[in-house]
């Protein structure tokens, strides 16, 4: 009777898949504390440098054009992040690092997703985690979407020679 041999084989295979999934999981790191801002998408919590995952904020020296005038959208992004971090302790969770060794994280203050708010208000663009928030900001003309801007990645590429090297 083939079914008597199939049941144990399927059970063994299922158990093996569960064990592999558990062994292959990368442990997430959670950091909670008072934070300070590096720029619009980077912060330090308890001495650990981190970058918000799933978004990209204008660089500190980057400007945008709104109603024919240059606006300091990079500084505005930094101020927006700073306002969030002044509300209380931040909890950041992540498991990946970027090429600079920064922990890539999602952060919350008082239970609210900081990255979602930055993108929703046009202080950052979506890079995969916040498409609905970016669509809202675009549709409402918020932040960088109020005028003309260069995507932060493109701005960095054009200004790479002027930027100080990262440690």
Low-confidence ranges of the chain (pLDDT < 50): 1
* Geometric angle at alpha carbon 157, from 152 and 42, rounded to 5°: 45
| pLDDT for res 53 | 98
- Inter-residue contact 106 to 113 (CB < 8 Å): yes
| pLDDT for res 27 | 82
Q: Where are the alpha helices (DSSP H) in the chain?
A: 3-24, 73-85, 114-120, 131-140, 152-159
| pLDDT for res 13 | 64
Give the model confidence (pLDDT) of 113-130 as tens digits: 999 999 999 999 999 999
| pLDDT for res 23 | 57
| pLDDT for res 88 | 95
- Inter-residue contact 53 to 106 (CB < 8 Å): yes
- Find out if CATH 3.40.50.300 is the number for domain 29-160: no
pTM of the model: 0.82
Give the model confidence (pLDDT) of 42-61 as tens digits: 999 999 999 999 999 999 99
């Amino acid at each position: 009777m083939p079914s008597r041999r199939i049941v144990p084989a399927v059970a063994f295979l299922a158990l093996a898949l569960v064990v592999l999934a558990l062994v292959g999981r990368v442990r997430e790191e959670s950091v909670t504390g008072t934070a300070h801002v590096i720029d619009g998408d980077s912060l330090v919590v308890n001495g650990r440098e981190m970058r918000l995952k799933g978004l990209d904020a204008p660089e500190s020296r980057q400007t945008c054009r709104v109603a024919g005038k240059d606006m300091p959208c990079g500084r505005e992004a930094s101020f927006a992040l700073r306002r969030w971090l002044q509300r209380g302790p931040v909890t950041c969770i992540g498991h990946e690092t970027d090429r600079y060794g920064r922990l890539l994280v999602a952060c919350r203050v008082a239970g609210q997703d900081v990255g979602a708010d930055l993108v929703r208000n046009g202080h950052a663009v979506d890079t995969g985690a916040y498409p609905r928030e970016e669509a809202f900001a675009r549709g409402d003309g918020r932040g960088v979407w109020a005028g003309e801007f260069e995507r932060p990645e493109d701005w960095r590429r054009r200004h790479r020679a002027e930027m100080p090297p990262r440690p």
